[in-house]
Each structure stands twice: as structure tokens, then as C-alpha cells.
Amino acid sequence: MITPSPKTQQARQARAWQHALREAFKQPADLLAYLGLDPATPHLEAAVLGNFPLRVPRGFAARMRKGDAADPLLLQVWPAGAEALNVDGFGLDAVGDKLKLKPGGIVHKYQHRVLVMATGACGVHCRYCFRRHFPYSDALAGRDHWREALAQIAADGSISEVILSGGDPLSLSDDKLGELLDGLDGIAHVRRLRIHTRQPIVLPERVDDGLLALLQRTRLRTAMVLHANHANELDGSVAMALGALREAGVSLLNQAVLLRRVNDDVDTLQALSERLFDCGVLPYYLHLLDRVAGSAHFEVDEDTARRLMRELSTRLPGYLLPRLARETAGQPAKEIVAW
């Protein structure tokens, strides 16, 4: 038997995750049929999708409970009719990204670190996404092979950390991502790389040999900030992907969003923190909902959030307790909410 070369193996793996992405559920009726749910079930009326279509990888859908219209993974991705409601206080740019957006896809809100809008593509469309209305077509950093973004970062010696975001930066091909990482490697004052991604959670196939090789070759100290909201998201395939990232020297953190009917009870939050640690991930933030238009039905009030944190603190050691946080447009940092 002829053993495939490493290059051939990487090409096969790349095709596998890209195929899985293409085969994701894109029609609400197809997802309901897969889950054995009746479209006439209360709360399953679908919103008009418009510019924010459904996208759910089949592997993520496989972790949902069949026949359960209240499944916490389904609720995160289901385009509920409530998205169409206009609610006071909910707007198109919940965290003020557009106010700080610079040419070349750079968002510079905080000192010493800068965010690069790497792509508008995601492996899954979470319905509470604070960038669901973001004008990606006007703001992507990669359209000129990163030249403008890299030039701005190189010109500002105060920047020590670069955050890759989007969209999901791991939606980029290895070639495109590698081009960016190589450019950052050449900027001496940049020391740390942070990748904000949900891809290893919803599409663990993305953590392949090609990606691991890219992460191992960079000189930058790399942290990956994952996004999981419920322990059921972290199945065996995800645990294996996260283990591979740890072995590649990547520090793993998680930021969750507090979501009504998804994780707004202390048992669920406890299970999430404990399962994350089982997978080698430290809880980092528990975000109050960013008040983006279309997401009001997910909001948990602040008093409830504080109560949950107090209860959680009696059950978990401090290192498994996420920080309750809020991001407010125009503020110089995230606010850690006292509880």
C-alpha cells in the first residue's frame, strides 16, 4: 500500500472540511425534517431570512436532540419569527465596530491590540450574532492580500497583539490564513496572536494537519478563544480537535453568551464549565447579550445574570468561573460586571 504524502493528506483533509461546510443545512425545512420536527410546532415559525441565512453544519445538527423543539443547540441557530420584532435599544451595530473601523479591515478599539476582519464567512450562523448586520463587503482585510492591514499594524509600534475575527477566521483556506500569519510574523513588535473562532466547535474537521502546521510554525504566542454556550456542543469529535490544538501549543479559552432558554440556569452553566475543562479549555467570559437587532428574544436580564453567577461561584472553583462581561460601544475596555 502506498502511503499518501503529507501534502496529499493535507489536501484531502482540506477538501473534507470544505465539503462539510458546503453540505451544511441552509433551508429551515430541511433542518426540521432531519430533526423530526413539525413546522407547525409552537415557536418554530421561521423568520424571513433576508441577508442572514440559515447555516448549520450537519455534524453540529447531529448533536441536537431529535424531536425536541426546545433543544438548546437548535435554539441558537433557529431563525425564529421573533427576529422580525423591532425592540427599543436593539440596533444594527451593537458594540460600535463601525465607529472604529479603519481602511483595510482593521478595528482598533483598545490599546496595544488590534482586530483584523479576516472574513465575513462563518461555519454556523448563530442568530444572536452581534455582527449579523455588519457590512463585510466593505470591510474585509484580505482583499488586497492583507497589504493595507499589515502596513497599518507595522506602522504602530504600540500594537503587541493581533486578534483575528470576522466572521470566523478559520473559514479561510490554509493558503490565505498562512499568508496573513507569515505577514504578522515579520512585524517585530507583534508578540501575540489571538484567534476568535467557533469553527472547532461546530466543524471540528477544520482542525486538520494543515491548520496545525500553520499554528506550529508561527513565532507568535497563540491563544484561541472558542465559543461554546452549552456542554452538549462539546462531543468526542470536538474534544479530539481541541486536544490536537493543545498539542500544537495553542492556549484555549472559551467565551460564552448568556442566552434565554439555552443556558440561563446554574446547572447548565456548571456543566459547560466542567465539560470545557475536561476538554482542556478554560472558561474566560460569560457575555451579557450584545443588543443587536433581531436578538431580543435571547436576552437575560442583568439581575438574573448576577444571581446565576453568585450561585455558580458556590459550585465551582475560581479557575472554572467565567467573568461576567458586557461590551459597550465607545468604552475603552469590556466591563466586568460585579455580581
Distance CA 167, CA 119 (A): 5
Convert the pLDDT of each residue in 288-327 to its tens digit.
999 999 999 999 999 999 999 999 999 999 999 999 999 8
**Is residue 122 annotated as involved in ligand binding?**
yes
Full strand arrangement of the beta sheet holding 323-326: 101-102, 106-107, 113-119, 161-166, 192-196, 221-226, 251-257, 282-287, 323-326, 335-336
pLDDT exceeds cutoff 70 at 38: yes
Distance CA 87, CA 96 (A): 18
DSSP of 225-293, one letter per residue?
EE---SGGG--HHHHHHHHHHHHTT-EEEEEEE--TTTT-SHHHHHHHHHHHHHTT-EEEEEEPPP-BT
Convert the pLDDT of each residue in 135-194 to its tens digit.
787 777 787 889 999 999 999 999 999 999 989 999 999 999 999 999 999 999 999 999
Distance CA 200, CA 243 (A): 11
Model confidence band, residue 1 (pLDDT cutoffs 50, 70, 90): low
Read off the C-alpha cell for 227.
Answer: 465559543
**Is residue 279 annotated as involved in ligand binding?**
no
Cα 253 to Cα 187, 234, 305: the distances in Å are 25, 14, 21
Could you identify the residue written with the cell 479557575?
Answer: 319
Convert the pLDDT of each residue in 220-232 to its tens digit.
999 999 999 999 9
pTM: 0.94
Whether 220 contacts 192, CB under 8 Å = yes
Task: Tell the burial category of 19 from Cβ atoms under 10 Å away from its Cβ (0-12, 13-18, 19+).
Answer: exposed
Instruction: Give first-to-last CA distance, the chain, whole Å.
Output: 62
Kindly report the average pLDDT of the chain as a whole number. 93
Model confidence band, residue 240 (pLDDT cutoffs 50, 70, 90): very high
Between 18-22, 40-44, 194-198, 226-230, the lowest mean confidence (pLDDT) is in: 40-44
Q: Which domains does the chain have, with CATH numbers?
A: 6-84 (no CATH), 97-336 (3.20.20.70)
